[in-house]
Amino acid sequence: MDRELMAEGIRKFLDGLGHGFDGDDQARTPPRVARAWSEDLVAGYDVDPDRELTWMPAPAEAGTVIVRGISFASMCVHHLLPFFGEAHVAYLPGERLAGLSKLGRVVDAHGRRLQTQEHLTSDIATTLERVLKPRGVMVMLDARHTCMTLRGVRKEQSRMVTTVAMGLYDRDVSARAELVALMKQQGASATR
């Protein structure tokens, strides 16, 4: 990423707002914003999601693996505003079993890019299918979009849910329904 070019664009944007650079702190805003975007908000462009998804041989009797509540944040490609929420990722292993933290890394690698939620859901599922070669994959994202809560219709409580199912979970409606129920299930509290 070209941070100098990004900072120049931020300067022009602020000039377009009629915002002057009176103080030293304000003059540092464009490079500060460029650094925040390149090092964090869209850092996923520098990450290969396939390499993040390490695996080991799966036991023959391996059942469905579900990881719920993977928090994520992304930037809407249409308005450059954030959307954020939780990813629920499931797969039925074939011969490969992913490291638990690796599923969260794949979500981040794709999420830290300019995205739409629909594409993000598909990107995560496609990476799991390509690298793990499972018998089935399902990804569900549940997110709030600031492009809908801060502007436009301003519906603060709205959420968007997207799903992608592949393999067994695409073909078998009852298996998919069972998986959706498990993904939506609230965990029991550890403290009573």
> Same domain, yes or no, for 29 and 75?
no
> Same domain, yes or no, for 20 and 61?
no
Q: What is the mean pLDDT of residues 77-86?
A: 96
pLDDT at 125: 98
The DSSP symbol for 130 reads: H
**Three-state SS for 159?**
coil
Q: What is the mean pLDDT of residues 50-54?
A: 96
**Beta carbons of 83 and 144 less than 8 angstroms apart:** yes
> Same domain, yes or no, for 144 and 70?
yes
Q: Other C-beta atoms within 10 Å of 52: how many?
A: 22
Classify residue 176: in a domain, yes or no.
yes
Q: What is the pLDDT of residues 115-128, one digit of tens each?
A: 999 999 999 999 99
Classify residue 191: in a domain, yes or no.
no
Q: What is the pLDDT of residues 91-142, one digit of tens each?
A: 999 999 999 899 999 999 999 999 999 999 999 999 999 999 999 999 999 9
- The strand pairing partners of 97, in sequence order, are 56
Q: What is the DSSP string of 27-89?
A: HTHHHHHHHHIIIIITGGGG--HHHH--EEEPPTT---EEEEEEEEEEEETTTS-EEEEEEEE
* Element spanning 103, H or E: helix 100-111
pLDDT at 191: 39
Q: What is the pLDDT of residues 139-192, one digit of tens each?
A: 999 999 999 889 888 888 889 999 999 999 999 999 999 999 999 886 544 433
> Same domain, yes or no, for 102 and 149?
yes
Classify residue 165: in a domain, yes or no.
yes
> Same domain, yes or no, for 69 and 139?
yes
> Same domain, yes or no, for 90 and 22?
no
* Element spanning 180, H or E: helix 173-184
Classify residue 112: in a domain, yes or no.
yes
> Same domain, yes or no, for 52 and 69?
yes
Backbone torsions φ then ψ of 168, nearest 5 degrees: -55, -40
Q: Where are the alpha helices (DSSP H) in 112-172?
A: 117-132, 146-149, 168-171
CB burial of residue 112 (10 Å; 0-12, 13-18, 19+) = buried
Classify residue 192: in a domain, yes or no.
no
Above 80 in pLDDT, residue 4? yes
Number of domains comprising the chain: 2
Q: What is the mean pLDDT of residues 26-45?
A: 94
> Same domain, yes or no, for 35 and 96?
no
Classify residue 190: in a domain, yes or no.
no
> Same domain, yes or no, for 16 and 69?
no
> Same domain, yes or no, for 103 and 28?
no
- The strand pairing partners of 94, in sequence order, are none
> Same domain, yes or no, for 93 and 10?
no
Query: In terms of pTM, does the model score above 0.85?
Result: yes
Q: What is the pLDDT of residues 62-74, one digit of tens each?
A: 999 999 999 999 9
* Burial annotation 154-166 (CB, 10 A radius, 16+ → b, else e): eeeeeeeebbbbb
**Beta carbons of 50 and 109 less than 8 angstroms apart:** no
C-alpha to C-alpha distance for 152 and 156, rounded to whole angstroms: 11
Range of the domain at 79: 48-184
pLDDT at 152: 84
CATH of the domain at 142: 3.30.1130.10
Classify residue 137: in a domain, yes or no.
yes
Backbone torsions φ then ψ of 157, nearest 5 degrees: -95, 0
Classify residue 189: in a domain, yes or no.
no
> Same domain, yes or no, for 58 and 106?
yes
